[in-house]
Structure 1
Amino acid sequence: MGSPRPAIRDTAGRTGTDRRGAVVAALMLAMALAALDSTIVSTAVPQIVGDLGGFSVFSWLFSGYLLAVTVTLPVYGKLSDTFGRKPVLIAGAAVFLLGSLLCAVAWNMAALIAFRIVQGLGGGALQGTVQTLAADLYPLKERPKIQARLSTVWALSAVAGPGLGGVLAAYADWRWIFLVNLPIGAVALWLIVRHLHEPEREAAGTRARVDWAGALAVFACGGVLLTALVQGGVAWPWLSGPSLALFAAGLALAVVVVLVERRAAEPIIPGWVWRRRTIAAVNLALGALGLLMVAPTVFLPTYAQAVLGLAPVAAGFVLSVWTLSWPVSAALSQHVYRRIGFRNTAMLGIGTAALILLAFLFLPYPGQAWQPMLLMLLLGAALGLFQLPLIIGVQSTVGWSERGTATASVLFCRQTGQTVGAALFGAVANGVLAARLGGASDLDSVTRALDSGGGAPEATRRAIADAVHAVYLGASCAAALAFLVLLLLAPRRFPVLREDVLREDVPKEGALKEDGR
């Protein structure tokens, strides 16, 4: 293929157990930064808009960051396989910190949005490369623990983001939301530079070739299609000229991506991520996970405020309880998949999740806060059994030189699923509200009224309950779809590589063992 291949990629051995703790601390700091910046801005919007203006476009503070993270995931995955994890993580962290500094000195809303996109360009490296490095540093039997820790850091940081952003905006200045990244990121960078050691690469006679044309095509295609999904039904109607034009352009660019990648010597999105049954099935299953996660993360807080009558802080706590059970379940999942395999463990988790999501439809009206909290606690436990075995399973079926691409592929599909889910379920919720209220309202207007301290009348409360029930029904269907994908497409036993082959990208006879058992 033309690129140098590592003779032995024993990152764990070169780093050493005495230094591994420092590297893991750096990975956790990097993961915390990526998670915080996906949510920390939300509660500071009033102060930012009051200072910079631009209320009509402030939603791009979130969309721009998430779009940049999503479309760069496959690019960074391939680059980490080509040049190593360490240089890609350092470069991504540097871009992220540069974007943070620029955000802190932004002079208007347009500049702030542009610099948030710069942040996202680095954030894609933080997300994908951190998860890949975790697999490099730990053998298969120890990966659930480190991945569960990273999941805990991600969940707690994402939940803490709005609260921290509100405190900084209220008692300091909104610019500190971005400045606080600098010392944390600097510590993470120092730990990576000082303690992470990857083996030297042995060239195969030619220089590594990077598919920059493919990277540009992937970035353009993903950016256009995700913009169409994020802004459709918000900035313009779904069937309007701008929406149709963006979808048409996105589809045309998708054709360009296929043509460019088929001709590339080292494609950014190689065909094997969809030709191999295991990876293709996990891609689709985690895409469905991203879609169903929109139901609780986006719609449950509004339900808790409008239907249950809770204050915003209490409503956030109703959502956050799943962060307690998810990492615990993920850490314990190894005891399950060692007995019944990766696929069956994930099917057990997502099948249970489908039933729990369906149970939301049968909550009494108006109900009490403990009822959705209990379901969220159970949902977190179910999804912990689903996601982590699939990620670990995929990482264990490929060697070092393919692990970054494989990890980025499944994370990209999950992130894309969230974007599609936000657009799809937003349209479903608004459709139900319009039907119940005669077109007089939509979810955004109801949410703004609640945020400003206004109470919802009885008719609106019932309409919101019906809208959220419809969303949870859709989420349950997405979980059922993921179950069917694993049942029909995924191999019963994942073709897990032996540990010595995971360190060496050299095919060996008898190198496969089934499901790590």
Structure 2
Amino acid sequence: MDGTKPRNRPLVLASVMLAMFLAAIEATIVSTAMPSIVADLGNFRLYSWVFSAYLLTNAATVLLFGRLADVLGRKPIFLIGISLFLIGAILSALAPTMSVLIVARLIQGLGAGALMPMATTIVGDIYSKEERAKIQGYLSSVWGISAVTGPLLGGFFVDVLSWPYVFWMNIPLGLLAFIGIMVFFKEEVESKKRSIDVVGSVWIILAISSLLIILVEGGGRLPWLSIEVSLLISLSTISFVAFVFHERKIEEPMLPLHLWSIRSIRFANLTSFTTGMILIGVSSYLPAFVQGVMERSATVAGFTLTTMSIGWPVASTLAGRLLLRIGYRRTSIMGGVSLIIGAIIFSFLSPNHGPLFAASGSLFIGIGMGLTSTSFIVSIQNAVDWKSRGIATASNMFMRTIGSALGAALLGGLLNSRLETVIQQSELSGTFDVNATNRLLREEDRESLGERAAEVLQEGLSSGLHMVYIGLLVLASVSFLFILQLPKKED
């Protein structure tokens, strides 16, 4: 029920957009700063966990917070979310080690899991159906602005100030959003008894987190045939099966499984899962290649990501027009082709090609993401009635976030495994390990390695990232095959 006075709505909207900006900018700004963070804190092996931890708690709680908001109201969940996000940001800025940073990112991800659904839900509460189309444009612009400014701000903070400012910048903006919602957003919560699927959340967290550990550490610190890996595989499998059985039998599940029987939703969600892996593969590891292999600055690394960030919102706007002319399936196919072109460019990436070549690959990936994500939302919302539209849309967001979390782990595992192999096959074995790669990411540390050690580590990083980009090409091809399964007949 809307209890907000009309004169307060612009202030509530501004607060919501500010919170969305913080959550949206988090991925790209941290990606650009990560090479400097890991150069400072060390422990390169944990590089991918900084992303996986944030995405894991984000994905595992986004649906739960959505359900809690129906029971307790939007305001308390929003305030809890932004508080957790800011606590995580403070701990991240103060982190003395990578392990502490990962714990801080887990907390920050919890906050983001509440912020994103609450922002869109509050807007839906205070604006009429006729007004929402215009307001949705404002919200979309937040993603565009954050996508473009994130890499540039990250590069600026690293080159001019220091990496903790990437996290400190959240504090004043977050406090403004907190005060805005606290003071100006008034709501009346109906006292209606609703069940909350906490058990489902526990099962999915267990399933995904144990799988993440296998993907990141398997073949490295944990041998594939070890008891630990066997136990983790068993825990992940049992938890996933228990989640499916639990979701089938309860009245108000966290993720209604009947939605998967609808062809357009099933293949849109599967594609979002694989494109989520592609997205994290580009945003997480391209800065490491530009700084560690190409030996360029954090600002240049930020530029190579910015092209993806520009391509996405532009393609999303274009998709809105294409959908009316050629339909969501053909628009999605165009997006799938763009993803493959971008992945092919990355598969040929080498130090000799330079940052512009890398930026062109990012641009095509961004265009592909913009065309497909917009098409999927429209096709999903056309496939269900009003009562199921919210959870159906949330399921797509959930699948992309889970894909990003698993992608960070899987691709990080590939990179670590290849680095380890190159080091072991060289004369540096026993002197250096994977964590020595940290020193490639800062000029003064790189020079202290010595010419031969730097050469071997760069070769390992380059070939490891080449494997990551081959993985992106495989994922782009799978995504295209899923897109072709979307129904030809449209509503």
The answer to whether TM tops 0.5 is yes
Q: Choose the corresponding residue for 1:152, options 144, 159, 178.
A: 144
Q: Choose the corresponding residue for 2:472, options 455, 472, 475.
A: 475
Partner residue in 2 for 1:357: 343
1:299 and 1:57 map into 2 onto residues whose CA distance is 13
Contact conserved, 2:337 with 2:480, CA < 8 A, in 1? yes
2:111 and 2:379 map into 1 onto residues whose CA distance is 27
Aligned-partner SS, 1:491: coil
Further displaced range: 244-253 or 310-319: 310-319
Partner residue in 1 for 2:357: 371
Aligned-partner SS, 1:453: helix
Q: Choose the corresponding residue for 1:64, options 38, 53, 58.
A: 53
Cα RMSD after superposing both structures: 4.0
1:183 and 1:383 map into 2 onto residues whose CA distance is 31
Aligned-partner SS, 1:236: coil
Matched, 1:389 2:381: no
Q: 1:414-453 counterparts in 2 under 5 A?
A: 414-429=400-415, 439-440=425-426, 445-446=436-437, 448-451=439-442, 452-453=445-446
Q: 1:109-508 counterparts in 2 under 5 A?
A: 114-131=103-120, 137=127, 142=134, 145-156=137-148, 158-160=150-152, 162-163=154-155, 166=158, 170=162, 174=164, 180-196=169-185, 201=190, 203=192, 207-233=193-219, 235-362=221-348, 366-395=352-381, 397-398=383-384, 401-429=387-415, 439-440=425-426, 445-446=436-437, 448-451=439-442, 452-454=445-447, 465-488=462-485, 490-493=486-489
Quickly say closer, same or farther: Cα 1:267–1:432, change in 2 above 3 A.
same
Quickly say closer, same or farther: Cα 1:47–1:427, change in 2 above 3 A.
closer
Deviation at 1:402, TM superposition (A): 3.7
Quickly say closer, same or farther: Cα 1:36–1:232, change in 2 above 3 A.
farther
1:390 and 1:357 map into 2 onto residues whose CA distance is 21
Aligned-partner SS, 2:446: coil
Contact conserved, 1:81 with 1:405, CA < 8 A, in 2? no
Residue identity in the other structure for 1:187: L
Aligned-partner SS, 1:321: helix
User: Kindly, what percent of the aligned residue pairs are identical?
Assistant: 30
Deviation at 1:336, TM superposition (A): 0.9
Quickly say closer, same or farther: Cα 1:142–1:44, change in 2 above 3 A.
same
Give CA deviations for 1:205-230 in whole Å, capped at 9, x if unaligned: xx212223223333333333334334
Quickly say closer, same or farther: Cα 1:334–1:317, change in 2 above 3 A.
same
Per the normalisation by structure 2, the TM-score is 0.80
1:302 and 1:379 map into 2 onto residues whose CA distance is 18
1:365 and 1:109 map into 2 onto residues whose CA distance is 28
Deviation at 1:253, TM superposition (A): 1.4
Give CA deviations for 1:242-276 in whole Å, capped at 9, x if unaligned: 23322211111122222322222211122133223
Deviation at 1:124, TM superposition (A): 0.9
Provide the aligned length of Structure 1 versus Structure 2. Answer: 474
Deviation at 1:46, TM superposition (A): 6.8
Contact conserved, 2:88 with 2:104, CA < 8 A, in 1? yes
1:69 and 1:365 map into 2 onto residues whose CA distance is 35
Give CA deviations for 1:387-423 in whole Å, capped at 9, x if unaligned: 1232344345555654443333222211221232233
Further displaced range: 150-159 or 391-400: 391-400
Give CA deviations for 1:20-47 in whole Å, capped at 9, x if unaligned: 5434422332123224555547467479
Give CA deviations for 1:364-388 in whole Å, capped at 9, x if unaligned: 7712332222332233223211212
Quickly say closer, same or farther: Cα 1:341–1:134, change in 2 above 3 A.
farther
Further displaced range: 260-269 or 364-373: 364-373
Quickly say closer, same or farther: Cα 1:430–1:179, change in 2 above 3 A.
closer
1:384 and 1:160 map into 2 onto residues whose CA distance is 20
Q: Which of the two has greater helix per residue?
A: 2
Contact conserved, 2:152 with 2:306, CA < 8 A, in 1? no
Contact conserved, 2:210 with 2:235, CA < 8 A, in 1? yes
Structure 2: 5+ residue stretches without partners: none
Deviation at 1:289, TM superposition (A): 0.5
1:56 and 1:351 map into 2 onto residues whose CA distance is 33
Partner residue in 2 for 1:510: none
Residue identity in the other structure for 2:446: G
2:143 and 2:346 map into 1 onto residues whose CA distance is 25
Partner residue in 2 for 1:95: 84
Residue identity in the other structure for 1:311: S
Quickly say closer, same or farther: Cα 1:369–1:491, change in 2 above 3 A.
same
Deviation at 1:167, TM superposition (A): 7.2
Structure 1: 5+ residue stretches without partners: 1-8, 495-513
Deviation at 1:292, TM superposition (A): 1.5
